[in-house]
Amino acid sequence: MCIRDRDRYLTMLKFLFLLCTALLTNGLSLRKPEAANQCLRWTLTENEITEARGNVKRKDIKLYTTHNSASILIDGINYMKALYDDIELAGQGDFIHAKMFDQNADVMLIPNASDAISSRKTSVYNVLGRALKRGVTVRILANINIMQSYKAIEFCLRINLLCGYTCCGLDNRHPGIITGNLHTKMWIVKHGKDTIVYNGGMDVASGRWDTQKHDFSLEHQMNGDFMGHNAMHDQMVRITGPAVVDYERHFYERWNDPHPSFFPFVWLQGYKWSPPPFIRTKNEGLQIQIMRTLSCTGAKYGYYKDFAPKGEFTALAGIVKMAKLAKNYIYMEDQFFNFPEPMKAIADALPHLNAVIIVTDSQDLSLIHI
């Protein structure tokens, strides 16, 4: 059923990845194959995914993949340096695909207060410009709504002038053209025989670059601030292995969605599906399951008809299942953790848990009732 609260939760299209670290909620330390079997308990089953999609089977993305590797990059200093390094490796015949909520082409991936000239060479605008000159294909989906239109329009205009064609699309294929959002932060970088995915909670935009000290450093100030905040804590995950095919599949489907954007001057040239190359780990590696949010209201508007005609709520289903299976404690970081369904699932689990820790944004604290 498509209910209003879920649409609100769903408007912020997010990805969750299951890295088997959910075992921490049980405080377990297991050896294979016991560990592998325990990991599978935390993934959604095929039936659970189908139910979360309005009883429409998901055929385009695997149930889960193995032989993956992932590293958690905490705070902008670590994430943006890694992203810069991967983009600089991309060359002729490679691609850079990105989905973003917020944008700023002048943000420097490696700011250095003592060397402004070198710092500017690492800006998103300059990094992508060099990649294009090397023959890299760039495609970017930038979130836009009426309330937040200026930054997205300016960003895509500058990037499109670099490309010489519409490589940056203003994407408002979500339920609310006034304040609705596509909240995914994701970069996919193919270089040579490997493909790297960055996925998590951090845009490459004003105020996001920071260190673990959160001391309002000169480098942080060089990239501006975000809504008056002088510090920013968040993380991204760098993923390699078979899971990158599923991430690229999602981007491909969003880019090639036949439903036009609300903005009539945006036209995206479709491209043919081709699974990207990847390097798998020699051992079983990490099991990763893609969970996403695609609004059922958006589906009613005609979006996602080729891959999620009734929407998809696997991100929500994954959180609820995690809460039900937890036996020792739950630790979660989520900027918008103020929606009834996940809050109820964690509240129901409280009697048999030793601790629940939820880190959320301060502006939402008044809405939390756990």
Read off the pLDDT of residues 169-180 as tens digits, 9 standing for 90 and up: 988 887 776 667
Mean pLDDT, range 291-299, rounded to an integer: 89
Residue 211 near residue 75, CB atoms below 8 Å: yes
pLDDT band, very low/low/confident/very high, at 296 (cuts 50, 70, 90): confident
Higher pLDDT, 349 or 30: 349
Whether the pTM exceeds 0.75: the reply is yes
DSSP state at residue 278: -
Bond prior to 33 in cis (omega within 30° of 0): yes
Per-residue pLDDT at 254: 93
CA distance 204 to 368: 28
Per-residue pLDDT at 244: 97
The share of the chain scoring above pLDDT 90, in percent, equals: 52
pLDDT, one tens digit per residue, over 76-118 is: 889 999 999 999 999 999 999 999 988 899 999 999 989 999 9
Instruction: Report which of 109, 113, 136 is spatially closest to residue 125, judged by C-alpha positions.
Output: 109
> Above 50 in pLDDT, residue 7?
no
Higher pLDDT, 161 or 39: 161
Per-residue pLDDT at 231: 73
Q: Over the chain, what is the mean pLDDT?
A: 83
> Above 80 in pLDDT, residue 40?
no
Per-residue pLDDT at 136: 98
Per-residue pLDDT at 21: 43
- Measure Cα distances from 22 to 27, 38, 284, 288 in Å: 9, 10, 17, 12
Per-residue pLDDT at 217: 78
pLDDT band, very low/low/confident/very high, at 24 (cuts 50, 70, 90): very low
